Structure 1
Amino acid sequence: MGTPLGDFIRARRDSVQPQSLGLPDRERRRAPGLRRSDLAARAGVSVEYLTRLEQGRDRNPSVAVVNALADALALDPPERDHLRHLSKITGGECVAQTEPAPPRRDVRPAVLRTLALLEPGIAMVTNRLGDVLARTGGFEAVARGTGLLDAPSPNLTRYVFTDPRARTSFTDWDEVADERAFELWCGPSAAGFASFTAELAPAAGSEFTRRLNGHVVPRRGPWRLHHPSGCELELIRETLELPDDAQQLVVLLPADEATARAVDGLIGRSSGRLRAV
């Protein structure tokens, strides 16, 4: 059985073209990407050890090995961070764990007061699973009609993968889907999202499981939305991490004048009040 760490190393190795690292493409290969022997040589480890890592038979690489693999694969900073994160949670899989506690759903009063100060702006408090735990009236006005807030406990990840309206609402649906799947790996532990992914996978299907296991590090660009009212929105995201709560405060800002005017119109038709789930 593989591990998230092994899956990521193998996926990155398969995506690297030898020429991009200055290696000769000696002959046509049956599989794409970098040979295991080439990666092992660049990282200074044996092919046998790299094979054990990729297959999940070795789960505790040293910091030096992790850094060497990151260098050998020419990972960018977000990818290096993800590799280090996976090495930590994969190593912990060998230790017996208690049933993980569900993520907290309450939002601290101080965070709610901060959110209220952002009215009538577009902002929400969420967690890595995608639960929308609190939102401004501005967020509600912009999301109205998309289907995101129809559920009693809205969840952005579930919406993206199971609600057909999400593909219409998000102009760059594929990028948003990559990001939502990747976010699940960024929580405090791998076990923390096990029940959520098990519950979501049957409904979301291969679009979800392929992305979850592919470890594609997203570019995190602006959200481009086709609003049900007919207007096109481009919203820049600014995220404030709340590490003690394992939550995030996300503020969405118009990227251009056309979006700003459209947002003003949407919010002007809304009563605008803070909502916490």
Structure 2
Amino acid sequence: MSSDLGTLLRAHREALAPQDVGLPRGARRRTPGLRRSELATLAGVSVEYLTRLEQGRDRHPSPQVLGALADALRLSPDARLLLLRATKGADGIGSPCAVTPPSDTIRPPVRALLDRLEPGAAALLNRVGDVLAATTTYRRLLEPYGLFDDDRPNLVRFVLTDPRAREAYPDWGRVADRQVAALRMESVPGDPHVAELAEAMTVMAGAEFSDRFAAPLPAEYRSGTERMRHAAVGDLRLDVESLALPDADGQRLVVQLPADEATSAALDRLAGRRPGALHAVG
């Protein structure tokens, strides 16, 4: 599981190039990324202690040590939060008995907000990626590719396991990176519901999922520009924003806005509106 502190530290160490921290590349480097000795020196800890952390023999570094390792690894705020969550999980915080199932309940104000986003493209997801509700335009974007074939559509499962998702997204790898990152960041340590989905996804998608689940977080996963290829209206460029709702259920609102005028006109046609009714952002 990517919530394991040792797995996270090792993945971040192997993903960081020596030159990124001012070290020479060297001609006889056997390991990807930094050596343990290099990271230990940068963080001011012993190699023996770093080895114990990476091997899971010590799961309780002090905040000062955790901060030093995060600094040495050049981690983003989200990646630092994931490290902190891993130490909390080792303490038993967020144990399975304390984690409620992902909520399917849509609060009336959230439903009203989604209705007001029509005819824009938007969807409400819970923390495991189930699509709880969507605007008509969002459905029209992804219905041709099979997202809504399932009675319980799940965006993570669709992107990682349905071959049609690769047809929908020319930059499929980046979209997959972001979906798996969202699954990791919206959950809590010891969440059995995320663990169950992760186990199923590892069986269904293999390394395409498991490698991403264990990898360092992408620089951006809550927002970004995605390309889509739609049979009815052609190529699209969509600015995607994922907005966390202020509740304990881990629900988030995903909104897709046209990133250029051609996409704006295409979404107008898809939504059945007159041309120019949706304006490109920026």
| Correspondence for 2:47 | 47
Equivalent AA in structure 2 for residue 129 of structure 1? V
| Correspondence for 1:222 | 225
Deviations, residues 14-72 of structure 1 (Å, cap 9, x unaligned): 12222321224455122122111111121111111111111111111121111100111
**Partners of 2:205 and 2:98 in 1: how far apart?**
24
SS at match of 1:129: coil
| Correspondence for 2:110 | 111
| Correspondence for 2:245 | 242
- Segments of structure 2 that go 5 or more residues without pairing to the other structure are 274-282
Counterpart check, 1:251 vs 2:255: yes
CA change 1:136–1:96 in 2 (3 A) is: closer
Counterpart check, 1:159 vs 2:158: yes
CA change 1:22–1:173 in 2 (3 A) is: same
Shift of 1:171: 1.4
Query: Which is further off, 79-88 or 144-153?
Result: 79-88
Equivalent AA in structure 1 for residue 29 of structure 2? R
Is the Cα contact below 8 Å between 1:3 and 1:90 reproduced in 2?
A: no
1:30-69 correspondence to structure 2 within 5 Å: 30-69=30-69
Equivalent AA in structure 1 for residue 207 of structure 2? S
Is the Cα contact below 8 Å between 2:59 and 2:90 reproduced in 1?
A: yes
1:1-277 correspondence to structure 2 within 5 Å: 4-25=4-25, 28-92=28-92, 97-98=96-97, 100-192=99-191, 193-220=194-221, 221-229=224-232, 231-244=234-247, 245-268=249-272
Larger RCO: 1 or 2 (CA < 8 Å, sep 6+): 1
CA change 1:262–1:3 in 2 (3 A) is: closer
**Partners of 2:95 and 2:131 in 1: how far apart?**
31
**Partners of 1:26 and 1:171 in 2: how far apart?**
36
**Partners of 1:227 and 1:2 in 2: how far apart?**
34
- Segments of structure 1 that go 5 or more residues without pairing to the other structure are 270-277
TM, length-normalised to structure 2: 0.87
CA change 1:107–1:35 in 2 (3 A) is: same
Query: Which is further off, 235-244 or 169-178?
Result: 235-244
CA change 1:136–1:22 in 2 (3 A) is: same
Deviations, residues 222-260 of structure 1 (Å, cap 9, x unaligned): 121011225011111122211413100121100000001
TM, length-normalised to structure 1: 0.89
Equivalent AA in structure 2 for residue 85 of structure 1? R
CA change 1:169–1:3 in 2 (3 A) is: closer
Equivalent AA in structure 1 for residue 101 of structure 2? P
Q: CA RMSD in A?
A: 2.2
